[in-house]
Amino acid sequence: MTLQDKDVFDYEYDDESGTIEVNMLGSIYGASIEDYPEVMSRVINILQEVPDASSVVLSESRDYEYDDDQVRMLKEVSDAIRDISSQGYLSESIRTDKCESLYQDHLPEVQRIVIDQLRKDPVGGYVELKRKERHLKQEMNESYPQKKRCLKYFIQDVVNPVKKRLENCEMIDQARSDEFITGHHVGDREVYREFFHPLVRPNFMLTKFMSLPPERGEEIDRYESRNDVEVSVYDVPDQVQPVYHVNPPEFNLSEEKYRLLDAARRFLASHQPESGEFARPDRMRQVFQNIGRDMIRDIAQQMDIQLPREESEQLTSILNRYTSGLGVLELLLSDPKIQDVFINSPIGNAPIYIKHEEYEECETNLIPTKEEAESWATRFRIKSGRPLDEANPVLDTDTEVPGGRARVAIIQENLSPEGLAFAFRRHRSRAWTLPLFIKRDFINPLGAGLLSFIVDGSRSVIFSGTRGAGKTSLLSASMLEILKKERIVTVEDTREIPIRQMKDLGFNIESMKSRSVITQVENELPAEEAIRTSLRLGDSALIIGEVRSDEAKTLYEAMRVGAVANFVGGTIHGESAYSVFDRVVNDLNVPKTSFKATDIIVSVNKIKSPDGLETYRRVTAITEVRKDWTDDPMEEDAFVDLMRYDSNEDKLVPTDTLKNGESEILNRIAENIREWKNNWEAVWGNIKLRERMKKEIVDKAKETGNDELLEAEFVVKANQKYHILAQRVSEEYGKQDPERIFARWQEWLEQQV
């Protein structure tokens, strides 16, 4: 029997969490301590039975959780009632010195205040006690000596000790200091609405939700994220971090819809997913989506609820989110403005923190529970096939939800003394493109054109940068410049490259998952073996998600002997070309001569505003690595910038080396093309042509307000069209004419728009 099948005000106590859960389903009162005196009285009675409780949950169609600070105020009142009763202040035998009659007249009122009023309305009880004291003192002034003496004894022996004991309670003390006592009407609940602010969540959710905006918070932004989720960002005085306040539709449903969802959830809880469904979360979601849709429609008919199609789909989406999905995590991971999500240990003691693209680090109004965190950890462990236990306290994996992908890092005991903790690095649900980066000023059109030319020229490119600078995103965007006819093989220990999206776009791509360098799972293939295997899978472009361990030697050996004849791309941590050399040679022990297999290093970094409050991501350099050096490429001028970031102009600018055609790598690309050999003007013309096409796409998207032109589906189509038109012009005129190619391509673009 579940709690909600029991009587109203029955409760269950969890020793481990210190939580009392009280059944309020079917109560004639609302599930609110602050609004209903009878509910406050019952909760105080329960706290007298369970004095060690640290939180109270009133469970109805929603759960209302009162945290430790709020429960402590109620426990202090409960303790005060117990102390006053046990110390004899309310006993009729407290004074027998010819004052029995007076005590019999006045003591019952004090007993009523302590035994009944303090449970329902502690502040009101204190106010009544103060008024009683004032009336007794007035009566003293008008009484004969014996009665005056008895009244004095009553105030001294009963009223004052009770009043003093109540003043030791935080609730009463706070009400006195905030002047709620003055003019307080007994029975008025306004004072309790100042003290009690429960965390609210539907009873099918585990995460706690702070429904009210932060006190004294000023709303600085408001927008709507995916699935009708309302987001507000608040600036709070004396707090550096803004507050990210999310208000999803599941918090604003009617009571009958909550009952409907709860009934559907109970039915779906009986479904036992197969292991294959965990491996294919999209399939599992679809199964639950179909079952949930039918279930909601049937239950709505049984409950005689008229449910339009749009509302039915909304409830189905919510149900799916909290059954087959990741609950509130999906609300955060589907927001395109969120970059990172952090959940610290011990779970439940602090809100979820995020990193926002506009407001940097923010705290949220969501507090996960230990039960939900354990559910997430179990799901990620099963899906990844990697262990997470005391012997393997780290799990490195990935996840995908509607509207977002993320890399997931989980730690637990023994590495994390206080238990589970999570970090999510969010990736865009759709693949990044160079035009998207141009729009965001991450790279300019000329830089994008140059990068497109280099990728087309089958060079080896390392994308370097600090954590979160955008290395993998730029690598993924560059992969879209590869022709669809070329095969691509990727090697990653945790999937971050949008493989599925590229397959959907028609790319010939094969992904390989290697052993994580963090977890060292024995049943997975090491990255260096995965790279050797990739070389046996046919002539392919090779993409290494991140170069960080022994696989570096294998990769450079393959590039050096010419085993990889197509584009090679990878990422590595480092802020400049030299830092890449230092890491590869000195940290990863790749021979210096092997490092010469690197052709281009693209450096991306975070640029801070002068006040330090804002951060921008920028490509800061495109550097070629020349081959004529022996010991130190920096001292021997082997690192030559083709483009360099100019902070005054906030963009990449071409160096004289690029403009004058002195680039060894670009000229080496030209050597393999008859028309371009020893013809820098033709090479430069092709780079500028690519620049113009990228810029034209961005300009056309701005002009029409159609951002779909910037997405991978259209960008890939535009790239393919360029190659087709370039071939036609070359066949017709005997050479590639950038002006004719651009004119025809532009005409095609206009037709597409």
DSSP letters for 37-91: HHHHHHHHHHHHH-TT--EEEEESSEEEEE-HHHHHHHHHHHHHHHHHHHTTTT-
Could you tell me if 591 and 557 are in contact, meaning their C-beta atoms sit under 8 angstroms apart? no
Could you tell me which of 261, 453, 275, 251 has the C-alpha nearest to residue 378?
275
Q: How far apart are CA 102 and CA 105, in angstroms?
A: 5
Q: From the centroid of its chain, how far is CA 163?
A: 49
For the segment 133-164, what is each residue's pLDDT rounded down to a tens digit? 888 888 888 778 888 888 888 888 888 888 89
- SS3 readout for 653-702: EECHHHHCCCCHHHHHHHHCCCCCCCCHHHHHHHHHHHHHHHHHHHHHHH
Sheet of strand 404-411, all strands in order from the earlier edge strand to the far edge: 218-224, 230-235, 243-247, 360-364, 353-356, 338-343, 421-427, 404-411, 394-401
Q: Pick the most confident of 169-178, 589-598, 678-687.
A: 678-687
Provide CB contacts within 8 A for 441, sequence distance 6+.
616, 618, 650, 651
Return the pLDDT at 307. 81
Mapping DSSP to helix (H, G, I), strand (E, B) and coil, where does residue 256 land? helix
Q: How far apart are CA 406 and CA 376, in angstroms?
A: 14
Quickly count: other Cβ atoms within 10 Å of residue 301's Cβ: 11
Confidence of residue 698 (pLDDT cuts 50, 70, 90): very high
Mean pLDDT of 576-598: 89
Could you tell me if 640 and 633 are in contact, meaning their C-beta atoms sit under 8 angstroms apart? no
- Residues of the chain with pLDDT > 90, as a percent, come to 34
Provide CB contacts within 8 A for 242, sequence distance 6+.
220, 233, 234, 235, 236, 356, 359, 362
Q: Pick the most confident of 195-209, 471-485, 502-516.
A: 471-485
Mean pLDDT of 633-662: 92
- Do 251-427 and 434-661 agree at the fold level? no
Does 28 or 614 have the greater pLDDT score?
Answer: 28
Instruction: With a cut of 70, say whether residue 336 has pLDDT above it.
Output: yes
Return the pLDDT at 525. 66
- What's the maximum distance between 2 C-alpha atoms anywhere in the chain? 126
For the segment 223-279, what is each residue's pLDDT rounded down to a tens digit? 988 878 899 999 998 888 899 999 888 877 777 787 787 778 777 766 555 555 555
pTM over cut 0.85: no
Return the pLDDT at 549. 75
- If you average pLDDT over every residue of the chain, what do you get? 86
For the segment 431-477, what is each residue's pLDDT rounded down to a tens digit? 999 999 999 999 999 999 999 999 999 899 999 998 888 899 999 99
Could you tell me if 652 and 605 are in contact, meaning their C-beta atoms sit under 8 angstroms apart? no
Return the pLDDT at 517. 64
Q: Which CATH class is domain 251-427?
A: alpha beta
CATH number of the domain at 434-661, please?
3.40.50.300
Q: How far apart are CA 35 and CA 42, in angstroms?
A: 13
Provide CB contacts within 8 A for 98, sequence distance 6+.
146, 150
- Residues of the chain with pLDDT > 70, as a percent, come to 92
Return the pLDDT at 95. 59
Structural domain boundaries in the chain: 84-177, 251-427, 434-661
Mean pLDDT of 7-11: 88
For the segment 657-672, what is each residue's pLDDT rounded down to a tens digit? 999 999 999 999 998 8
Return the pLDDT at 725. 94
Could you tell me if 597 and 574 are in contact, meaning their C-beta atoms sit under 8 angstroms apart? no
Mean pLDDT of 52-73: 88
For the segment 508-522, what is each residue's pLDDT rounded down to a tens digit? 998 887 777 666 666
Return the pLDDT at 342. 96
Return the pLDDT at 704. 92
Q: How many CA atoms lie within 13 A of 364 on its CB side?
A: 26
Instruction: With a cut of 70, say whether residue 3 has pLDDT above it.
Output: no
- Amino acid present at 56: V
Confidence of residue 706 (pLDDT cuts 50, 70, 90): very high
- Amino acid present at 353: Y
Lowest-confidence segment of 28-42, 277-291, 320-334, 567-581 by average pLDDT: 277-291
Report phi then psi at 326, rounded to 5: -105, 20
Return the pLDDT at 518. 65
Q: How far apart are CA 216 and CA 234, in angstroms?
A: 9
Return the pLDDT at 149. 82
Confidence of residue 46 (pLDDT cuts 50, 70, 90): very high
Instruction: With a cut of 70, say whether residue 332 has pLDDT above it.
Output: yes
Q: How far apart are CA 471 and CA 570, in angstroms?
A: 9
Provide CB contacts within 8 A for 91, sequence distance 6+.
none
For the segment 163-197, what is each residue's pLDDT rounded down to a tens digit? 898 889 999 888 887 666 766 677 888 888 888 98
Instruction: With a cut of 90, say whether residue 283 has pLDDT above it.
Output: no
Return the pLDDT at 413. 87
Could you tell me if 579 and 606 are in contact, meaning their C-beta atoms sit under 8 angstroms apart? no
Confidence of residue 281 (pLDDT cuts 50, 70, 90): low
Could you tell me if 430 and 712 are in contact, meaning their C-beta atoms sit under 8 angstroms apart? yes
Confidence of residue 713 (pLDDT cuts 50, 70, 90): very high
Instruction: With a cut of 70, say whether residue 675 has pLDDT above it.
Output: yes
Report phi then psi at 457, rounded to 5: -85, 10
Q: How far apart are CA 575 and CA 583, in angstroms?
A: 11
Cα dihedral 181/184/189/194 (nearest 10)? -40
Q: How far apart are CA 725 and CA 249, in angstroms?
A: 49
Confidence of residue 355 (pLDDT cuts 50, 70, 90): very high
